[in-house]
Amino acid sequence: MLDNLSATKVSGGWHKQYSHTSTSTHCPMRFAIFLPPGASQTNKVPVLYWLSGLTCTDENFMQKAGAFKMAAELGIAIVAPDTSPRGDTVPDEDSYDFGQGAGFYVNATQAPYNTHYNMYEYVVNELPALIDQHFPVTDKKAISGHSMGGHGALMIALRNPQNYTSTSAFSPIVNPINCPWGQKAFSHYLGSDKSTWTQYDTCELMDQANATDHLPMRIDQGEADNFLVEQLKTENLFKKVNEQGYPAEINMHAGYDHSYFFISSFIDEHLLFHQSYLQA
């Protein structure tokens, strides 16, 4: 059952927030959806899933990215889930990069996190089924995200190429098994056996990707991003793309940082990129 929290007219369409009790995370979850003008059961539209980064909720992208006008023109719905389970019963840490707000889009295997921190299952299976059931969308899906959400989008697309037409990311964490953010999160959520971490690492997954399952991929990265060298590891993905011949477009932008100023500057290009495959 969905509980409609808000509905706001924007760019001729509607931005709506919903909450529901999740079977994956065993707690209430919130997501937002933008429905472009004319979306109806007789005029279903494709959908872009957006995954946000550390400390974010469904609201960051929807309020700051400036995506609605182009999405309305292209006839694309956008769905933005929260970044983690939340609530008094959900284990948390006094840290911005772990716990609530930092689910890392994995299925946790370690107590006490394994009951609630199942964001991979939520994003890949539960949420799309809910969207398909309740909203006028087609079976065409793309996935994108920022930072931790960029990690989620690329990783999920690589593991489930049959589910998506295309994938993209802004400033993604592409090699989490080799950066402090990822090592902290994975050690707590997944345990000390690092062989279990690789299934959630874009660079590792690219090594395993079957050429017949390659998805169109676009990545935009700011060169003035203060997380670029230590956390994001974009250079490692450059190497993997070249080694594997993966169809990924990686764009570096001088002067841009890690913020939504960067995302809002290039979000139209990402929507146009996805539209060419969603409408195919």
Is 258 among the residues known to form the active site?
A: yes
The full 3-state SS of 58-74, as one line of letters, equals CHHHHHHCCCHHHHHHH
Strand partners, 145: 51, 169
The full 3-state SS of 225-237, as one line of letters, equals CCCHHHHHCHHHH
**Cα distances (angstroms) measured from residue 204 to each of 39, 100, 189, 252:** 38, 26, 18, 22
Is 274 among the residues known to form the active site?
A: no
The H or E element containing residue 21 is strand 13-21
The full 3-state SS of 137-204, as one line of letters, equals EEEEEEEEEECHHHHHHHHHHHHCHHHCCCEEEECCCCCHHHCHHHHHHHHHHHCCCHHHCHHHCHHH
Question: Active-site residue among 147, 166, 168, 171?
Answer: 147
Question: Active-site residue among 52, 82, 225, 274?
Answer: 225
Q: C-alpha angle 61/220/37, rounded to 5°?
A: 40
Determine the residue type at 82: D
Is 225 among the residues known to form the active site?
A: yes
Active site positions, annotated = 147, 225, 258
